[in-house]
């Protein structure tokens, strides 16, 4: 998709699909909507006036109404996209609206989309943020997961034109450019998650990461079994030993153009990269197991974030550690009852081989600290318990440092991704204590599974400020949305990028 900015009246657009956003200004929960079209173009307002007063269009989020041959406009079609209630408007709704326009166009054979930058009301959203959100939504929406269909028809949008006010030119140019970079990075993460386990082995993930690093200007090192043995990564190796596919320890490093100050943070981004998870000896039920190719979504999120960080060039050093392997049942697999020794020296009693993500992350978090990280974040499709607790609306967030958590949640709000803080206090850690080793890898109770997993991970970060993102419920969409197709979401990429770039 080529994005171009046009600083003139949208009435002059000969686009096959001109899109304008609309708000419901009614402040009451009930009652007839009061629709405001977000355009200062008199011609656009006139073209939509009759239908907006008919009651046919309610202005709900991602609601659409199409007008063919709109009077007074050169465009072949005028698409009105709802943003919901004015009092609730944020960049999240703008992002969804941009995506909705693109998803509306694709199946109809429309390859050029124009969007009118929202104006005419006091939106209280900076122009740069608005432009960023709209472009992000459009680029994200252009992704399709049908990579392996033999009769695949390319429905990609060739051109996205954003008609914007000349008075906000600099801000719109900056926001649109950043939105395109970040959304492209999110789509890179989605493309990785979309790959089946027989195509994206840990070795191939390492190759894909190294190639992205080469083109993005990042330093990359990809290790396997011998290096992991040298580092004493017994937890990671324990999971990996059941597969004939060798593991990959992937390290990407971004170094800022100017030397950071002595007290500047060094960010450590750690991702769970289980390219296929059978559950190991504690094997999963067959129903739905095919989706376990997505168990490397945390790693993909970190790789996507690193691609965007390399392009945006924040003034901080960032190190990403990706722990990738398969979790397979075989005669070589680790077993319930085994004792593994992690790189930190802590010993772990295995009582469920399907709780493997926390084992690879334990060694990954330790290693990120050894490489100099002073702020840590890990992302993982770690527990079904988190999805049970929060549904498919929010991901779980756990921390050992409230200031770091506050900064991250602020960044996530800007990025339009939902996280909800959950506890990981010492009471949960007590449930992970073993009588034969330092820790068990699961508790002996079914309750609080997301929190006990987080408490386990917290044991491997010490006093380093740390955030754990349990994205199990958000990394994969089981159904189409008006602004995004079903399949991999690339969730957490935008929030991680915003957290790093907005750090003080």
Catalytic residues: 284, 358
Q: Is 287 annotated as a binding residue?
A: no
Q: Do 486 and 477 form a contact (C-beta atoms < 8 A)?
A: yes
* Residues in Cβ contact with 214 at an 8 Å cutoff, skipping those fewer than 6 apart: 220
Q: Is 277 annotated as a binding residue?
A: yes
Q: Which residue's entry shows tokens 């054979």? A: 109
Q: Is 142 annotated as a binding residue?
A: no
Q: Do 135 and 34 form a contact (C-beta atoms < 8 A)?
A: no
Q: Is 290 annotated as a binding residue?
A: no
Give the Cα separation of 218 and 158 in Å (integer). Answer: 29
Q: Is 470 annotated as a binding residue?
A: no
**Strand segments (E) across 328-416:** 339-341, 347-349, 375-380, 395-399
Long-range contacts of 166-173 (CB under 8 A, 24+ apart): 166/7, 166/8, 168/117, 168/127, 169/5, 169/7, 171/126, 171/127, 171/128, 171/131, 172/5, 172/117, 172/127, 172/128, 172/131, 173/5, 173/131
**Strand segments (E) across 328-387:** 339-341, 347-349, 375-380
**What are the tokens at 217?**
């200007």
Which residues are bridge partners to 66 per DSSP?
A: 79
Give the Cα separation of 232 and 213 in Å (integer). Answer: 26
**What are the tokens at 405?**
């958590």
Give the three-state DSSP class for 322. strand
Angle subtended at Cα 184 by Cα 289 and Cα 377, rounded to the nearest 5 degrees: 65
Q: Which parts are annotated binding residues for Mn(2+)?
A: 272, 277, 295, 354, 356
Q: Which parts are annotated binding residues?
A: 272, 277, 295, 354, 356
């Amino acid at each position: 998709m080529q994005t171009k900015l046009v600083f003139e009246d949208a009435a002059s657009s000969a686009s096959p699909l001109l899109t304008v956003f609309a708000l419901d200004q009614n402040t009451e929960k009930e009652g007839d909507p009061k629709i405001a079209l977000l355009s200062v173009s008199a011609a656009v307002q006139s073209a939509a006036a009759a239908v907006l007063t008919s009651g046919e269009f309610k202005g709900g989020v991602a609601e659409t109404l199409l007008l063919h041959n709109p009077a007074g406009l050169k465009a072949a079609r005028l698409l009105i996209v709802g943003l919901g209630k004015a009092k609730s408007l944020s960049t999240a709704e703008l992002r969804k609206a941009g995506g909705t326009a693109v998803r509306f166009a694709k199946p109809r054979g429309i390859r050029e989309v124009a969007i009118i930058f929202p104006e005419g009301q006091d939106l209280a959203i900076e122009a740069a943020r608005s432009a960023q959100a709209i472009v992000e939504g459009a680029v994200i929406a252009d992704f399709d997961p049908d990579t392996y269909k033999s009769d695949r028809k390319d429905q990609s949008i060739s051109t996205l034109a954003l008609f914007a006010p000349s008075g906000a030119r600099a801000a719109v140019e900056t926001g649109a450019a950043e939105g395109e970079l970040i959304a492209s990075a999110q789509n890179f993460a989605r493309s990785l998650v979309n790959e089946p386990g027989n195509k994206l082995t840990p070795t191939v993930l390492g190759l894909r990461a190294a190639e992205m690093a080469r083109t993005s200007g990042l330093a990359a090192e990809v290790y396997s079994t011998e290096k992991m043995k040298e580092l004493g990564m017994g937890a990671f190796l324990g999971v990996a030993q059941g597969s004939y596919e060798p593991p990959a320890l992937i390290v990407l490093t971004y170094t800022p153009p100017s030397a950071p100050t002595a007290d500047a943070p060094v960010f450590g981004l750690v991702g769970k990269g289980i390219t296929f998870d059978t559950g190991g000896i504690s094997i999963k039920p067959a129903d739905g197991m095919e989706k376990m190719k997505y168990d490397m979504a945390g790693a993909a999120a970190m790789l996507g974030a690193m691609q965007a960080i390399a392009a945006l060039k924040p003034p901080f050093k960032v190190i990403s550690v990706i722990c990738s392997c398969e979790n397979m049942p075989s005669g070589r697999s680790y077993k319930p009852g085994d004792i593994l020794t992690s790189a930190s020296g802590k010993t772990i009693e295995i009582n469920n081989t399907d709780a493997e993500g926390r084992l690879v992350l334990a060694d990954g978090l330790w290693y990120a600290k050894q490489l100099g990280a002073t702020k840590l974040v890990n992302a993982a499709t770690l527990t079904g318990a988190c999805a049970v607790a929060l549904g498919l609306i929010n991901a779980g967030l756990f921390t050992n440092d409230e200031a770091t958590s506050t900064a991250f949640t602020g960044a996530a709000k800007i990025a339009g991704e939902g996280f909800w803080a959950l506890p990981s206090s010492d009471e949960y850690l007590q449930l992970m204590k073993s009588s034969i080793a330092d820790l068990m890898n699961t508790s002996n109770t079914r309750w609080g599974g997301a929190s006990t997993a987080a408490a386990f991970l917290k044991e491997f970060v010490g006093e380093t400020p740390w955030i754990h993102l349990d994205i199990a419920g958000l990394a994969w969409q089981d159904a189409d949305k008006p602004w995004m197709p079903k399949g991999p979401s690339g969730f957490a990429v935008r929030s991680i990028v915003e957290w790093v770039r907005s750090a003080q």
